[in-house]
Structure 1
Amino acid sequence: MEFLGRLYDLESLPSTDSRFQDAAGDIWQHRVNNDDWPEDWIFDDSRFRLMSAPPDEFLRFLCEVLHPVVRPDRNETLKLLQHFNDQLRPHGWHLIEEEKIAGRPRYVGQAIRNHHHRSVSRARTVADALDAAWMQKEIERVENAIDADPALALGTAKELLESCCKTILTKRGVSFGKSDDLPKLTKALTKELKLVPEGIPDAAKGAENIRLILRNLSALTQYMAELRGLYGTGHGRDGKHKGLEPRHARLAVASAVAFIDCQRRSKSRPLGGVKVGHLTPHAGNVGRA
């Protein structure tokens, strides 16, 4: 009753029970006084037309289910959010955080923008090529978190980089320490794959530009690790901490994908000593992230 009262004027809606004047009366009778309606009755009730309503009305209903006042249990809210988004995403919608109320997120429905899905698709291609099931799980976590939990997306993007480095190093028989951090793993991988080539002649057109692009791509993992330390999951925060926005998470994820895509291509064909023209596709991937 209280929940529906947040969304509808129950006293203005008709009753389906002749003993009562309005929806407030018959809902009280059949859900409180004499609980003889099924749990999912509202989805078939023509007064609320949830199954035929415009998307914004249905999404508003789902968002209210997750409202901090309605659902104070944080873990339950997150589980429902993931379930709702799993069902909504194939239809082009998802629920994202709009604001916080007393430190708890309030959600709003939004049409999915396709720009970050290209990055996720490329990441899946890399994971398939490397036969890395764990990377697939991290990619799925990133996709679900970009809008709903940017800090989680950032933290997982960093883990995705680590998984990529460890997977390729393992496949190539290169040993590394269990405690090696992301910069160390990256250094070992770029050395193994000769990602920063020394064989480009200085006279070649754009040689220095190519070196800079590839060196900065390698340095990206260091920046990602530092950013994750500042804003990602895995560290406690004070009460005044302000996190990243989804747009920052998209940039971080796209950058991470550019790196692992380049590494995957380099694994198949090491870059050291090849011609400048053969490097262009890899440099171009950075711009399309």
Structure 2
Amino acid sequence: MAVFKRDGYRCLACGSDEDLSIDHIHHQSAGGGHGIENLRTLCRSCNSRRGTGYLPEVDEEAWQEPGNSASKVSGESYRLNMSSYRRDLVSRAARNEFRSLATDMTVRLVAEAWQNHNFAPVPEDELNYDDSSVRRTTFETYAAAVDWTDYAQVSRALLVFEDLIRYYRQSGWESNWLEEVTVKLERDGLSVDERGRISWLRRPVTTGHLEKLTDPSGILAELERVSRTIADDPAAAIGSAKQLIEATAKTVLRERGITIDENTKVPALVKQAQKALHLDASSVTPGPDGTDAVKKILGGVASIAVGVAELRNRGYGTGHGQATAPTNLGIRHAQLAANAAITWCQLMLDTLGDPAAPWRKAVVPAQPQAPTAAATP
């Protein structure tokens, strides 16, 4: 459904991707209609908690600022803006699991876990959170200060989560808390090893440059599909990885004002997109971009992108009906395709958004000098 796609297939209140439902922002009893501008995604739990009243997690002004998941509705159309482009790298559902762990810790330990990694809390009077537990509230004052769309901040926050995992293990807790934490993190593309270290199964694409694009929705839709399917449906993840490359190439060409032939195959799209950004071997560019070493790397990156498309076309990814389902296809193959696609996508977005990138500098070939007249004696 279009509403789920627009909202990233996640509950706008808690971040869950399970048991989703459509909520009317303005209820019918208040004159609200059924148009997409009056609809949003909530899980059934948050939807039932809202009832016909107020849901702070998405109705507060704080959720209307860049970096959050809801868009402002104030008499005008509910339009997709950059708040929904910048998806949280760690979902609210995963953060809530770690907040629950704070229940059995002291306030001092909770605060120190965050402070050890240079986080400062937001003032409690600015916190949109109501909880009888001082420990969980303390956790939330620090978590609320994190920009969960920023890779660098999230990487530091994951160190906090690692410390919480180690504390619980050392304390000998035997409930299923670790399983709950692990499941939520895996949905966000993260894994937890036997030592409690958290790492990315695939590094997310940093979306800062997307804000300047005319319409990055195609790229974001495919990123979301890769994220949702990589653990449970490798074939779908491979198919989405190929589509991510295709969407990125078309976005680059559109942003550069180049006409797109919808029938063009992925290898040709990759070549056209890299040429449009002067990332091909034939481009004459100054500095490191023009060296043989960088051109070899760029050639390899292009081959990676084409390889993902070929993997999908050979029946290992969704998109073509197959008489026989692929065998021996595992998560590692999905991760290989996803990481390859994301590497190429990130390169293209970084280059497109870089104000000093080679494509922004027209290289004028040197003109031959006219012969000078011989001096007369």
1:213 to 297, 301, 308: 297
Query: What are the ranges of 5 or more consecutive residues in structure 1 without an aligned counterpart?
Result: 1-85, 96-109, 275-289
The equivalent residue for 1:115 is: 200
Match of residue 271, structure 1, among 355, 358, 364? 358
Confirm or deny that 1:261 pairs with 2:346.
Answer: yes
Deviation at 1:225, TM superposition (A): 0.9
> Judging changes above 3 Å, is the alpha-carbon distance between structure 1 residues 222 and 156 closer, same or farther for their aligned structure 2 residues?
same
Corresponding residue for residue 280 of structure 2: 196
After TM superposition, the score normalised by the length of structure 2 is 0.40
Quick one: distance in 2 between partners of 1:134 and 1:201? 32
* 1:236-251 → structure 2 map (5 Å cutoff): 236-239=321-324, 241-251=326-336
Deviation at 1:237? Answer: 3.4
The answer for the alignment partner of 2:183 in structure 1 is 94
How far the C-alpha of 1:153 sits from its partner, in A, is 0.6
Equivalent residue number for residue 80 of structure 1: none
Residue equivalent to 1:183: 267
User: Partner residue of 2:231?
Assistant: 147
1:168 aligns with 2:258: no
Would the aligned equivalents of 2:285 and 2:358 in 1 still touch at CA under 8 Å? no
For 1:182 and 1:200, locate their aligned partners in 2 and report how far apart those are by CA, in whole Å.
Answer: 25
Letter aligned with residue 322 of structure 2 = R
**Structural RMSD (CA):** 3.4
The amino acid across from 1:267 in the alignment is L
SS at match of 1:135: helix
**Structure 2 SS opposite 1:114:** strand
**Structure number with higher helix proportion:** 1
Distance 1:205 1:139 in 2: 28
Show CA shifts across 1:87-130 (max 9, x none): 965543339xxxxxxxxxxxxxx86963225x2243x4454453
Could you tell me how far 1:244 is from its partner in structure 2?
2.2
1:199–1:273 CA contact under 8 A, matched in 2: no
Give 1:216 deviation, angstroms: 1.2
TM-score by length of 1: 0.51
Aligned residues: 173
Partner Cα separation in structure 2 for residue 219 and residue 166 of structure 1: 18
Give the aligned partner of residue 252 of structure 1.
337
- Find the residue that maps to 1:120 and give its secondary structure: coil
For each residue in 1:120-144, what CA deviation from the matched residue of structure 2 results, as whole angstroms up to 9, or x when unmatched?
Answer: 243x445445341232222111111
Does the Cα contact within 8 Å between 1:200 and 1:273 map onto a contact in 2? no
Deviations 1:41-74 (A, max 9, x none): xxxxxxxxxxxxxxxxxxxxxxxxxxxxxxxxxx
- Equivalent residue in structure 1 for 2:217, among 110, 133, 144: 133
Letter in 2 for 1:93: T
Give the deviation of 1:152 after TM superposition. 0.5
The 8 Å contact of residues 201 and 335 in structure 2, kept in 1 or not, is answered as yes
| 1:24-103 superposed matches below 5 A | 91=97, 92-94=181-183
Question: What is the percentage of aligned positions where both structures have the same residue?
Answer: 28
Query: Are residues 195 and 145 of structure 1, via their aligned partners in 2, closer, same or farther at CA, if it must alter by over 3 Å?
Result: same
Alpha-carbon spacing, 1:192–1:163, altered in 2? closer, same or farther (3 Å): same
CA distance in 2, matches of 1:133, 1:260: 14
Q: Secondary structure at the match of 2:260?
A: coil
Which secondary structure state, in structure 1, belongs to the residue aligned with residue 183 of structure 2? strand
Task: Tell which has more relative contact order, 1 or 2 (C-alpha 8 A, sep 6+).
Answer: 1
Matches within 5 A, 1:6-25: none
